[in-house]
Amino acid sequence: MPNRVVNILVPVISVILGLLVGAVVMLISGYDPVAGYSALWNGIFGDAYTIGETIRQITPYILSGLAVAFAFRTGLFNIGVEGQLLVGWFAAAYVGIAFDLPMYIHLPLSILAAAVAGGLWAFLPGLLKAKLQVHEVIVTIMMNYIALHTTNVLIRMVANGGETTEAIKETASLKSAFFESMTDFSRLHYGIFIALAMVLVMWFILEKTTTGFELKAVGFNKHASDYAGMNVNKNIILSMVISGAFAGLAGAMEALGTFQYASVKGGFTGIGFDGIAVALLGANTPLGVVFGATLFGALKFGSLNMPNAAGIPVEIVSIVIALIIFFVACGYIIRYFLVKKNNKKEAK
Amino acid sequence: MDYVIEMLGIRKEFGSFVANDNITLQLKKGEIHALLGENGAGKSTLMNVLFGLYQPEAGEIKVNGKTVEITDPNVANDLGIGMVHQHFMLVENFTVTENIILGNELTKSGMIDIKDAAKKIHSLSEMYGLAVDPYAKIEDISVGMQQRVEILKTLYRGAEILIFDEPTASLTPQEIIELIQIMKRLIQEGKSIILITHKLKEIMDVSDRVTVIRKGEGIGTVITSETNPNELASLMVGRQVDFTTVKVDANPTDDALVVKNLVVTDFRGVEKVKNLSLTVRKGEILGIAGIDGNGQSELIEAITGLKKSKSGSISINGRDITNKRPRKVTESGIGHIPQDRHKHGLVLDFPIGHNIALQTYYVDPISKNGIMNYGKVSELAQKIIKEYDVRTQGEHTPARALSGGNQQKAIIGREIERNPELLIAALPTRGLDVGAIEFIHSRLIEQRDKGKAVLLLSFELDEVMNVSDRIAVIYDGQIVDTLLPKETTEQELGLLMAGQSTKENVATQGDK
């Protein structure tokens, strides 16, 4: 079997296996898998509205996936995407509310504020890693909690003690009347273009610039990079900042696109953590992240329809979705069997 | 016939690349059979076929006259084939016993029976003269002893046929002598040995027969006592080889590298380089002779900017480079072939082409305004691959996949191509075969003849004596003497390296 066929077959078989095992779980629990999956399908592709909402859900996943993948590619494990996203969310909402500016300044400024806030939030773990060799995983995990509770306090201040800020000014909004009319008033917004542009940005940085060359070299072998005259510490910090900026932009999608405000949160959004899985599903490549985010976003949003349309409890839905993702992530097992079978055939 | 192993007409392909083609190797019981070939000739591939890691595309393997199919290393183990790897496969913070029984643990009611295992290991080590302490941790014992642990591991698993993959690459001369005794003892006890090496001296010393392979092809098998090193070398590389490095006399001019009163400390603050001064002139090769650990690494790291010096000064062509960052040092005209090519020399997961651009990726024309021109990277890579005879499937092959000699040639090409005023070569030929060594030596001399300065660091006396124009002997962080190769002997150098000045060595020997 040629490699290309294997590359296409693996994800297809993975998804089918995931669906089959998920069906077994539904059967055992006494629910109808056909009804369940048709509800899932309709939840993703059912009508213009659901398609719009699905794409809206995919948007922040692309950015959080890029954030994790970028750090990974340079040898760093950024678990702090969640926290960077939260500060980005707040920063974008704040700038969107506090200023009165024409749109062509206000919107870019709000987006930029999110990127800068996320970048700064990631700067500290980068600095600690570079200067004191403190492991970035520990620092970023802890900074997630700091971000959650700090932004909650700030949001209350901006909301004058309330739980939710006022809506951002229209001049800072990513809302799209065009998309709304096309998708039956879903919340799909222009942010998807920003997310896709960032996919290009990541690819460009890594594959076309000297900075990308350095970042990858440092990620693979710090000693050799040092020997070749690269500033290893600078590159570690830079990598974290760029990763954090992607994460901050994911927050901007929520602030300026989906919700149009910031509100006090009882817990994490999960988008940042799911970004880890998105990045790994996409093998840490920019294009791969788009596919990973699409799978995640679609399943996440589509599955919301399963309890309503098929009467399947949320808990079972979570298990089914997790199984599908699990099998996709285990693609290499399927690849292993395909290759082995292949070899046997050739041997005979 | 009484062959314990026969590999007949073995062929192994990787894609379109033929690593082994029609190789035949027949091992008699109780012999030491050397497998000789250059780096990348296909020795390791052949042994991996025997050990079950690769499946051959053609050919037949017989063990004790019976055709077998070795599908994985466990099958090889069951057939009594054991491999002593070049890079030891040991768990650093386990004891000797724990390492030997790993994967094959004796248990008593579910608990590992370390005592019994240690006893068994002790008796094995007595039998074959392999002195080890069963309870010592791997990280605390010498490289030579680690290798004995590897040998015991195979014997513990009942190996009758032992494959030694470049066993002397990381051993000291004394440890090599011990290893040779061990191998002879193993033979006496009825084991058979395949010795993979490219060191002709060892082959002449220990082996009974030699099978030579060149560029993946089996060249033939000769009886050691009926051949000589010159014949073996030419069989291996396919042409006549000169063992003595030919060179005209040096014509040194101005001072290039000047190191004055340099002090370098290690991470604990212990002085490793102590008030050291040396000068390398344009048009000469200064060799630094010394036993490992006498401050050589720290000296070179200080010159190249990888380590800060505590005091003293370093200058190149009159420009001060003391404690400058590595990039500044490189740009002031220093090329550096690092001691540890895997740690410092290469990004192993990068394509070899990227590695060739590792020092110049940021300058015009390879990049402009921060944008890489990968077309130019390719051009440079192809040029160096061709001119420096780097054998690789292509510039996109990861550096990891190249043999040591070819990795080193790529590094040397990268450094020389920048046309540095001073070339620092630290152990440039470690682990390489005669062909590659000859090539590298001639490149160093060529730099010298172009009027550049060369600083050569080597632990091998032959190399220092043959290649250098002057020899500085380093001991305990200081240059104890500077000599001319023509006016000294290996004995004199050896004594100086051991810290005894020639004049007083007779007088002080009793005190030490």
* Residue pLDDT, tens place only, A3-50: 667 777 777 788 888 889 989 999 999 999 999 999 999 999 989 999
In chain A, what residues touch B347 (CB-CB under 8 Å)? 217, 220-221, 224-225
In a domain? residue B105: yes
What residue type is assigned to position B444 of the chain?
L
Q: How far is A198 from chain B (nearest CA, A)?
A: 18
Q: Within a domain: residue B74?
A: yes
Give the pLDDT of residue A120. 97
The whole-number average pLDDT for the span B271-280 is: 93
pLDDT tens track for B355-388: 999 999 999 889 999 999 999 999 999 999 999 9
* Nearest residue on chain B to A217, alpha-carbon basis: B347
Element of type H or E holding B223 = strand B217-223
Q: What pLDDT digit, counting tens, does each position of A278-288 carry?
A: 998 888 889 98
Residues in A whose CB is inside 8 Å of some CB of B read 208-214, 216-217, 220-221, 223-231, 347
Min distance A222 CA to chain B CA atoms (Å): 9
8 Å CB contact between B131 and B125 = yes
pLDDT bin (cut points 50, 70, 90) of residue B511 is very low
Contacts of B192 (CB under 8 A, 6+ apart): B4, B5, B27, B28, B29, B30, B31, B32, B33, B160, B161, B162
Q: Quick one: B20 and B78 in the same domain? A: yes
User: Does B390 reside within a domain?
Assistant: no
Indicate the residue type of B292.
Answer: D
Structure tokens at B52: 């079950």
Residue B358 domain-assigned (yes or no): no
- Integer angstrom CA distances of residue B501 from B210, B227, B464, B507: 42, 41, 19, 10
Tens-place pLDDT, residues A240-252 = 999 999 999 999 9
Same domain flag for B91 and B146? yes
Question: Helix or strand or coil: residue A195?
Answer: helix
**Directed axis angle between helix A331-347 and helix A3-28, to 10°?**
130
- Chain segment A316-333, per-residue pLDDT in tens: 888 888 888 888 778 767
Q: In A210-313, where does DSSP find H-type helix?
A: 210-220, 222-227, 232-252, 271-281, 286-302, 305-310
Q: Which of A208, A220, A224 sits opposite B345 (nearest CB)?
A: A224
Q: Does B373 touch chain A (CB under 8 A)?
A: no
Decide: B307 and B488 in contact? Cβ < 8 Å: no
Nearest residue on chain A to B324, judged by CA atoms? A229
Residue B188 shares a structural domain with residue B303: no
Residues B170 and B223 in one domain: yes
Pairing status of strand B58-63 against strand B3-14: antiparallel
Domain boundary among B202, B237, B272: B237
Range with the lowest mean pLDDT among A24-33, A200-209, B318-327, B433-442? B433-442
3-state class (DSSP) for residue A296: helix
C-beta separation of B54 from B42 below 8 A: no
- Please tell me if residue B252 touches chain A, with a CB cutoff of 8 Å: no
Rounded Cα–Cα distance for residues B83 and A94 (Å): 66
Q: What is the CATH number of the domain that holds B215?
A: 3.40.50.300
**Side chain identity at residue B371, one-letter code:** I
Q: What is the mean pLDDT of residues B247-264?
A: 89
pLDDT band at B243 (very low <50, low <70, confident <90, very high): low
* Domain match, B147 and B271 both: no
Euclidean distance between CA atoms A249 and A89, whole angstroms: 8
CA B95 to chain CA mean position, Å: 26
Could you tell me which residues are beta bridge partners of residue B60? B8
**Number of residues that this document lists for chain B:** 512
* Cβ proximity of B52 and B76 under 8 Å: yes
pLDDT at B509 over 60: no
Residue B508: is its pLDDT beyond 50? no
Binary contact (B343, A223; C-beta < 8 A) = yes
**Containing structural domain, residue B66:** 3-237
Give the count of domains, chain B.
2
- Pairing assessment for the beta strands B470-475 and B285-289 based on DSSP bridges: parallel
CB B339 within 8 A of CB B332: no
Q: Over 50: is that where the pLDDT of B512 sits?
A: no
Residue A160 backbone phi and psi in degrees, to 5: 50, 45
pLDDT of residue B463: 87
The angle formed by the CA atoms of residues A106, A109 and A111, to the nearest 5 degrees, is 110
Phi and psi, residue B372, nearest 5°: -70, 145
Number of residues written out for chain A: 348
Q: Across chain B, what does the average pLDDT equal?
A: 87
Give the 3-state secondary structure percentages of chain B, helix then strand then coil, rounded to 5.
35, 25, 35
What's the pLDDT score for residue B510? 40
Model confidence at B503: pLDDT above 70 = no
Quick check: B230 and B449 in contact, CB under 8 A?
no
User: Which residue shows structure tokens 């206000």?
Assistant: A106
| B105 pLDDT above the threshold of 90 | no
Q: State the count of interchain CB pairs (< 8 A) between A and B.
A: 67
CA dihedral A323, A325, A326, A330 (to 10 degrees): 140
What are the beta bridge partners of residue B335? B423
Rounded Cα distance between A237 and B247, Å, is 50
Q: Are residues B24 and B115 in the same domain?
A: yes
B326, B367, B372 ranked by CB distance to A227: nearest: B326
Q: Confidence class of residue A184 from pLDDT cuts 50, 70 and 90?
A: confident
Residue of B55, B306, B372 with shortest CB distance to A213 = B372
Last residue of a domain, one of B190, B209, B237: B237
Tell me the mean pLDDT in the region A198-216.
94
Q: Is this complex's ipTM strictly greater than 0.85?
A: no
Which residue on chain A is closest to B414 by alpha carbon? Answer: A228
Q: Which of A226, A227, A284 to mutate to test the interface with B (most CBs of B within 10 A)?
A: A227
Could A210 and B362 be called an inter-chain contact, meaning their C-beta atoms sit closer than 8 Å?
yes
Q: Which domains does chain A have, with CATH numbers?
A: 1-31+312-348 (no CATH), 49-301 (1.10.3470)
Residues B300 and B181 in one domain: no
Look at A212 and B372 and tell me if their CB atoms are within 8 Å.
yes
Rounded CA separation A12/A18 (Å): 10
Tell me, yes or no, whether B58 and B105 share the same domain: yes
